[in-house]
């Protein structure tokens, strides 16, 4: 996802409502989200389906990494040598 451009990517709900197709095109073309405001406060984000899926994958990966780090911190991990042995046993020769 591209970095947000404040002057282009924050729009009031009334403007988005009246020109939804153009905002969907903008999100698709720029790969940037649009922040939708109501009475000056952010209430929603419009982003492409591809960017949403990519964000979900990144969140899942980061969550898995955090779980692993927590397990290692509690002494639940195994050594690299033991992990390699286990992995090599599972790989067909």
The answer on pLDDT for 66 being more than 80 is yes
The answer on pLDDT for 93 being more than 80 is no
User: What is the C-alpha to C-alpha distance for residues 71 and 34, in angstroms, rounded to an integer?
Assistant: 38
CB-based burial label for 4 (10 Å; 0-12, 13-18, 19+): middle
pTM above 0.85, yes or no: no
User: What is the C-alpha to C-alpha distance for residues 25 and 20, in angstroms, rounded to an integer?
Assistant: 9
26-62 exposure pattern, b = at least 16 Cβ within 10 A, e = fewer:
bbeebebbbbbbeeeeeeeebbbeebeeeeeeeeeee
Residue spans per domain, the chain:
1-74
pLDDT at 47: 95
Given CATH 3.30.43.10, say whether it is the number of domain 1-74.
Answer: no
pLDDT at 23: 95
- Sign of the CA dihedral with 71 first, then 74, 79, and 83 last: negative
Task: Please write the tens of the pLDDT for every residue from 69-79.
Answer: 999 899 888 88
Task: Please write the tens of the pLDDT for every residue from 23-62.
Answer: 999 999 999 999 999 999 999 999 999 999 999 999 999 9
């Amino acid at each position: 996802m591209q970095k947000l451009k404040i002057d282009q990517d924050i729009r009031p709900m009334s403007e988005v409502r009246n020109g939804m197709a153009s905002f969907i095109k903008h999100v698709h073309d720029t790969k940037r989200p649009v922040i939708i405001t109501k009475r000056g406060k952010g209430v929603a984000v419009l982003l492409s389906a591809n960017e949403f899926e990519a964000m979900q994958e990144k969140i899942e990966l980061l969550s898995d990494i955090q779980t692993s780090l927590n397990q290692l911190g509690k002494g639940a991990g195994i050594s690299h040598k033991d992990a390699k042995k286990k992995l090599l046993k599972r790989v067909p020769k």
